[in-house]
Amino acid sequence: MSRQTDALTLLNAKHRWRLWEIALWLIAVAAIFVLPSQLLILTEIAILALFAVSLDLILGYSGIVSLGHTAFFGLGAYAAGILARDYIAEPVTGLVFAGLISGLFGLATSFLVLRGSDLTRLMTTFGVAMLLAELGNQAAWLTGGADGLSGISMGPILGLFEFDLWGRTGYVYCLAVLIALTYVVRRIVNSPFGLSLMAIRRNPRRAAMLGISPKRRIVVIYAVSAAYAGMAGALLAQTTNFVSPDVLAFHRSADVLLVLVIGGAGHLYGGIFGAIIFTMLRAWLSVATPQYWMFWIGTILVAIVMIGRERLTGWPALLAARLRGREETR
């Protein structure tokens, strides 16, 4: 009984909003007024952050490695774009539609990650992304093929807020979606279901012995992750009014993996902080050293792996501990 009480106390504590979380979202909102000339890159950060959160659900919390997460991102982008072009131009409707399509596709392909090693999962997920990319290229009558999906014209959000040329509405829209969906993920990972996912990641056999069904939970979280990735793709299509075959390219899967390596997988906000750092570094390095910016990104990645994220991010706590130690000796 005491263990159950301790577990409930721990979950309730995790559900409480921390001061730095509130500060993060307040800063993101304040950026609308403080950085009006940077709203386009801030919109890009919000979309990449949502994409990273979607991958973190299966990588950081379930231990499923994927090289084909861009399949769901691209599918959501095409779904939202086609719906807006041919049927309904309202963005929120397209966002939900894209999430449903990508989630169903994730549910249909989830059996590919239930068996085999990490290498098998890497190759099968990569294969799914390649097949979907080729399908999109060949179905030019629907997707526009190599020329991309054009002719998209988005209507006002909920019939009230029109997209503007400066990107203000687009950023507010993407930020609102990111905050809402991050809140849902926060509830998921800090629930008994989220704890069972972490138990499966650490030791699937022991989790099964405790009565936890690994396959069922992996299928559910894989579908949820796919839906999140699809909604991130939908945001890209809706804010740019264009969908190119690039949304299904391999580099998007590689980029979002880099984002999680930088920010930290399995930390909820790791994908968000990673998206901020990665996008700002890429923007700055591509201007400072246009020919070698990828070299410096790679160097930073190697430094993180070699030094360790704990050492890089734990220096404030270490400094505070040393200062307290000096005060006690005095």
Question: What tens digit of pLDDT does each residue of 84-128 get?
Answer: 998 898 999 999 999 999 999 999 988 887 776 777 888 888 888
Question: Is residue 207 within 8 Å of residue 196, measured between CB atoms?
Answer: yes
In a domain, 69, yes or no: yes
Q: Does the structure show a pLDDT above 70 at 2?
A: no
Domain that holds residue 165: 10-250
pLDDT value for 4: 53
**Which of 8-12, 169-173, 249-253 is the least confident region?**
8-12
Who contacts 158 (Cβ-Cβ below 8 Å, separation ≥6)?
90, 92
In a domain, 5, yes or no: no
Who contacts 1 (Cβ-Cβ below 8 Å, separation ≥6)?
none
- Tens-digit pLDDT profile for residues 35-67: 888 899 999 999 999 999 999 999 888 888 888
Helix (H) or strand (E) holding 79: helix 70-86
Q: Does the structure show a pLDDT above 60 at 313?
A: no
The full DSSP string for 244-283 is -GGGG-HHHHHHHHHHHHHH-TTSSSHHHHHHHHHHHHHH
More confident site: 178 or 61: 178
More confident site: 138 or 1: 138
Tokens describing residue 50:
């949502």
Highest mean pLDDT: which range of 86-90, 191-195, 294-298, 314-318: 86-90
- Secondary structure letter of residue 220 according to DSSP: H
What number is the average pLDDT over the span 188-208? 78
In a domain, 60, yes or no: yes
In a domain, 229, yes or no: yes
Percent of the chain with pLDDT strictly greater than 70: 85
In a domain, 129, yes or no: yes
Helix (H) or strand (E) holding 32: helix 19-34
Residue 328 is which amino acid? E
Quickly state the pLDDT bin for 287 (edges 50, 70, 90): confident
Q: Does the structure show a pLDDT above 90 at 136?
A: no
Who contacts 189 (Cβ-Cβ below 8 Å, separation ≥6)?
57, 61, 197, 268
Q: Does the structure show a pLDDT above 90 at 285?
A: no
Question: Is residue 28 within 8 Å of residue 160, measured between CB atoms?
Answer: no
Q: Does the structure show a pLDDT above 70 at 320?
A: no
Mean pLDDT of the chain: 83
Tokens describing residue 75:
């599918």
- Secondary structure letter of residue 111 according to DSSP: G
Distance CA 110, CA 2 (A): 37
Question: Is residue 232 within 8 Å of residue 177, measured between CB atoms?
Answer: no
Q: Does the structure show a pLDDT above 50 at 223?
A: yes
pLDDT value for 324: 57
C-alpha distances in angstroms, 320 versus 184, 309, 323?
A: 34, 18, 5
pLDDT value for 226: 95
Q: Does the structure show a pLDDT above 50 at 11?
A: yes
Beta bridge partners of 157: 161
Quickly state the pLDDT bin for 310 (edges 50, 70, 90): low
Q: How many domains does the chain have?
A: 1
In a domain, 276, yes or no: no
pLDDT value for 148: 85
**Which of 167-171, 196-200, 298-302 is the least confident region?**
298-302
Angle at 47 between CA 251 and CA 76, to 5 degrees: 75
C-alpha distances in angstroms, 97 versus 103, 188, 269, 289, 292?
A: 10, 22, 26, 40, 40
In a domain, 292, yes or no: no
Would you tell me how many other CB atoms lie within 10 Å of the CB of residue 186? 18
Exposure of 259 in the CB half-sphere (CA atoms within 13 A): 32
pLDDT value for 5: 56
Q: Does the structure show a pLDDT above 50 at 316?
A: no
pLDDT value for 1: 47
Q: Does the structure show a pLDDT above 50 at 134?
A: yes
Quickly state the pLDDT bin for 263 (edges 50, 70, 90): confident
**Stated length of the chain:** 330
**Between 70-86 and 214-240, two packed helices, what is the crossing angle to 10 degrees?**
50
More confident site: 301 or 148: 148
In a domain, 80, yes or no: yes
